Structure 1
């Protein structure tokens, strides 16, 4: 449950005593019935939902609540979802939040299909079982993974509590040292920041891998940037390739630590909602302050690097608040994006639930409420943010650990584009990504 709430952009709980519209023709249903819950869902969405004007005028109130909610959503909405807080099975599931890893199925130039573990969370069931980034999965629950069955196998995995995996290592174009591993369903604990300092061409480059943006992380960010500053770092590589997002306040705090020339009054973000929500503009200082545990803007700025350029590593799993970092730094500095196009979540929302005491409705909605824009009014990246330098992470196998200087995306900055012109293309010839266990993680209400 923590993962799903973490991926909300704004930590606000709306107290909904009643959202009933002043409509004399509104239907009336017995309290506690499915129809009464659906009416609450409809009235709430009319007030907050970004696409409220596209909702059907006469929905079927007799549908099950989850189906009713989906029937109200706009066709272009990939991200809104609803859960029953009394039913854990109603929450979105993913391989990452159930087992702590993700994988990608690729086709090599010779036509061979290979399933590569791309991410293993620290202190997760997967890491405890011995899985590592770069391993090759040859079988899942006895089945060989192919481009044709990968999605079906992944869907089945979400209904299990234990996985039987056959994995091996990639060595000179073949899988070696195969072994069987069981991974049990369980919790993955908070992921720590990973930092490195590289030296190239006489200059020091700081590397920072950020898995997500939880509230309360500003102290850790400030400490990392203090270390970079003390070491004389003049270039920065942000690794957001697997970052689904999280708190906009945490993203604003990160952004405040990077460029030169910004003040507490510098505009950071604009939220644009429906006719009820209107437009909300926030400065760096205002957005950071929405996290009550955050260090304030001026404190953070004491450790700012004051750069005019930043490299950001991305993939199709880079989403929401991570995309805000990319888009909202652009008015203040040169952003060189390296990797793959991002997921395209240019929207924000907050949790909508019944806070009456006693609570009468146990359903909790996570609708899209705002579109987000940077200080220059730039947004509308629902198709993703495209990199200036396209790099296929799977160009070279085995995948190296995150933070390794020879890892494909990192080395493409250190050795391929460092201080050079961009607009290059560095994709691996013939290597195709056929399926990723986490992309798109939210497209069908799967994992927000």
Structure 2
């Protein structure tokens, strides 16, 4: 099953292949091969080599702990993201409502004090989509239990341990829930999400809109096609919607960035990685970073369809994370970035998967540690508390939630109003609507 919050960014593929110990014999604690202690020693050696906070790891950890607990005992208190999985144990993988059932929801308090739960995201061809669930529907019950602010988190946790859930849903009309019905959603696979685009036009001025669910490797061909259409249409403005984008491949994020601004070349610096004493500092240009996806179109091919703008509007939320935040931050040295929505999640870090590559493989565990802090071409980063928007808007300010791509949808209309009417941005989010709980907190999606 696809993991939607992907920490494996394939920055250095060579690092994935070799994980041997380099201690002197008199320093090595000897444990029987295949023992829990020997597995934990491998975990410790791997983390000493790559982990960003390696110098903070305990000098004498307890090798008798279960592997997952041992891994957690090595982590810095500053680390919200590193995790480990056993490929032979499906229960060790991160679970979330989104990656199990293909939807997400938010529990919000309205200005009149009432609490409602709205469906915010339904993935295409997901179990939720196939059951008839739609963005903007209201959920009143999960498995027969009424959702409240007090039990929302517990209900969400409970459905991660099930393979089928019953939802009572309805429509939001005139500030009331109508046409309630029960639907069944089964655990299952969600297919790769398509890019969705539109072109809005008013008074002869065209604005392109592109919704991007995540940044998998292998998406450059689709990006290139969308921007070829934008360029052919002669768009003068661009809206990128990454409000629910957990991230993924930095190479794909770099490819998207290469298609937007004017005045960049293959030699233009894109990103700076800063690691521990072993990793040091690594700089990558746009072209170099794109090449880390072996299936990607090259920089010059992509630039042929670049729209060459000096300003871009980017729609964000608290679920905008990782490679999505890199895209926002790393475009700033080259153009004006107007962020619309809510502050991002705050993952200013990157990593890659660490695993045993011996043949036959002796260790089934995979480690996903934080390895680098990331910065843009100007050395700007450090957004661990999130990147704040210039135009702060709550997408829940108007219910029901409209389909993504609808010109009247709250975040999209806010960007279009700025484009066409030159309205000033709001100074703060709408305080009348309070978000009490959201099922798609990225840290929950990675098992923390």
TM range (shorter): over 0.9
Q: Is the 8 A contact 2:85 2:93 kept in 1?
A: yes
State the Cα distance separating 1:25 from its structure 2 match: 3.1
1:311-390 correspondence runs (5 A): 311-390=313-392
What CA distance in whole angstroms lies between the structure 2 residues aligned with 1:380 and 1:172? 44
Q: Is the 8 A contact 1:273 1:371 kept in 2?
A: yes
Deviations 1:22-66 (A, max 9, x none): 473332111100010000000000000000000011111100000
What CA distance in whole angstroms lies between the structure 1 residues aligned with 2:324 and 2:5? 16
Q: Does 1:428 align with 2:395?
A: no
Deviations 1:232-262 (A, max 9, x none): 1010000000000011000000000000000
In structure 1, the residue matched to 2:447 is 446
Q: 2:228 aligns with which of 226, 229, 232?
A: 226
State the Cα distance separating 1:2 from its structure 2 match: 2.7
1:22-421 correspondence runs (5 A): 22=24, 24-416=26-418, 418=420, 420=422
Compared CA separation, residues 381 and 419, structure 1 to 2 (3 A)? farther
What CA distance in whole angstroms lies between the structure 1 residues aligned with 2:79 and 2:311? 33
State the Cα distance separating 1:443 from its structure 2 match: 5.4
Q: Is the 8 A contact 2:214 2:248 kept in 1?
A: yes
State the Cα distance separating 1:167 from its structure 2 match: 0.2
What CA distance in whole angstroms lies between the structure 2 residues aligned with 1:415 and 1:32? 62
State the Cα distance separating 1:357 from its structure 2 match: 0.7
Deviations 1:315-364 (A, max 9, x none): 00000000011000000000000000001111110010001111111100
Q: Is the 8 A contact 2:5 2:446 kept in 1?
A: no
| Counterpart secondary structure, 1:3 | coil
Aligned residues: 446
Normalization by structure 1: what TM-score?
0.97
What CA distance in whole angstroms lies between the structure 1 residues aligned with 2:244 and 2:402? 15
Normalization by structure 2: what TM-score?
0.97
Runs (5+) with no aligned partner, structure 1? none
State the Cα distance separating 1:442 from its structure 2 match: 1.7
What CA distance in whole angstroms lies between the structure 2 residues aligned with 1:160 and 1:47? 38
State the Cα distance separating 1:18 from its structure 2 match: 1.5
Deviations 1:410-447 (A, max 9, x none): 001112465636552363341000000011x2258427
What CA distance in whole angstroms lies between the structure 2 residues aligned with 1:104 and 1:248? 28
| Counterpart secondary structure, 2:256 | helix
State the Cα distance separating 1:395 from its structure 2 match: 0.2
| Counterpart secondary structure, 1:242 | coil
Compared CA separation, residues 166 and 36, structure 1 to 2 (3 A)? same
Q: Is the 8 A contact 2:346 2:383 kept in 1?
A: yes
Runs (5+) with no aligned partner, structure 2? none
What CA distance in whole angstroms lies between the structure 2 residues aligned with 1:33 and 1:429? 55
In structure 1, the residue matched to 2:2 is 2
State the Cα distance separating 1:14 from its structure 2 match: 1.0
Root-mean-square deviation over aligned CA pairs = 1.5
Q: Is the 8 A contact 1:125 1:184 kept in 2?
A: yes
What CA distance in whole angstroms lies between the structure 1 residues aligned with 2:420 and 2:35? 62
What CA distance in whole angstroms lies between the structure 1 residues aligned with 2:406 and 2:423? 23
What CA distance in whole angstroms lies between the structure 1 residues aligned with 2:86 and 2:76? 21
What CA distance in whole angstroms lies between the structure 2 residues aligned with 1:247 and 1:421? 35
What CA distance in whole angstroms lies between the structure 2 residues aligned with 1:393 and 1:63? 45
What CA distance in whole angstroms lies between the structure 1 residues aligned with 2:315 and 2:447? 24
State the Cα distance separating 1:174 from its structure 2 match: 0.3
| Counterpart secondary structure, 2:171 | strand
